[in-house]
Amino acid sequence: KNTTYFVHCKSGTRSAKASEYLAEQGYDIVNLDGGYKAYEAKNDDDNTLEENTNVAIKAERKQFNYSGLQCPGPIVNISKEVKNIEVGEQIEVTVTDPGFLSDIKSWVKQTGHTLVKLDESNHGINAIIQKEKPKDLEVNHTAKGTTIVLFSGELDKAVAAMIIANGAKAAGRDVTIFFTFWGLNALKKNQSVHVKKQGIAKMFDLMLPKTPVRMPLSKMNMFGLGNIMMRYVMKKKNVDSLPSLIDQAIDQDIKLIACTMSMDVMGIQKEELRDEVEYGGVGTYIGDTENANHNLFI
């Protein structure tokens, strides 16, 4: 009992109760408040990036309210607005998405801009960002790109792919998405286009969704009822629809490649796909992976 004991758990709750009990028994106890999780966060480089108090907040700054927007909406919009201001100018944003608190720290770290202020209140998360000069290119030209193969023809997986793609582009990465087989349905126009087909192509046309919003869910599709429920919840929670996410990708100059071999096999014609789509094969995709260090297959 003459020794000092240090007690901790993951959150600090159980260790606090244990400390009280042991102290009553006469032991010299020190509890780690907040637990090991708080200690780990304190020493995590990604989480220690807070606002730069050495940079003054400027009176003249553009203000934007992104309340209600879900990931990656706030980051995508911030990326656009920062491009429209001069180096040294600031913007102020208000966001209600709880994930933004972590996202903005990671974004400024990747892009080199300055996080002047960051705080959270009952009204949401408020951040002030100052534009800085672009990062100097490294001598070894380290690959910094993201490539995604979208093989799945399921709505939820396609939405996830586009959210990742838009977020990566907003963080300054070059992004390429290669749509193959069932994933080609995501590139179809919002309004179905009638194209005359015959044979196997006609059979595929009857079975495949006419537009992206008609793509089935990977789980609990329930003959299309799950799709309707998912789109209703997404709209209610202000999550962008699949066509809207693809529109964002086009606006950000994300490269969208349709696999011509898959199009031929499944009888999908160019007239059915968006006008902004590029066409190519696996060689085109592999060429883009040379400049990427982040590759996903969905």
* Catalytic residue list: 71
Q: What residues pair up with 267 in beta bridges, in sequence order? A: none
Q: In 10 A of CB 53, how many CB atoms?
A: 9
For 183-211, letters b (16+ CB in 10 Å) and e give: bbbbbbeeeeeeeeeeeebeeebeebbeb
What phi and psi values does residue 257 have, to the nearest 5 degrees? -115, 125
Q: How far is 263 from 27, CA to CA, in rounded Å?
A: 73
Contacts of residues 248-253 at CB distance under 8 Å and 24 or more positions apart, as own/partner, are 248/76, 248/162, 248/166, 249/162, 249/165, 249/166, 249/169, 249/175, 249/177, 250/274, 250/276, 251/80, 252/76, 252/79, 252/166, 252/169, 252/170, 252/175, 253/169
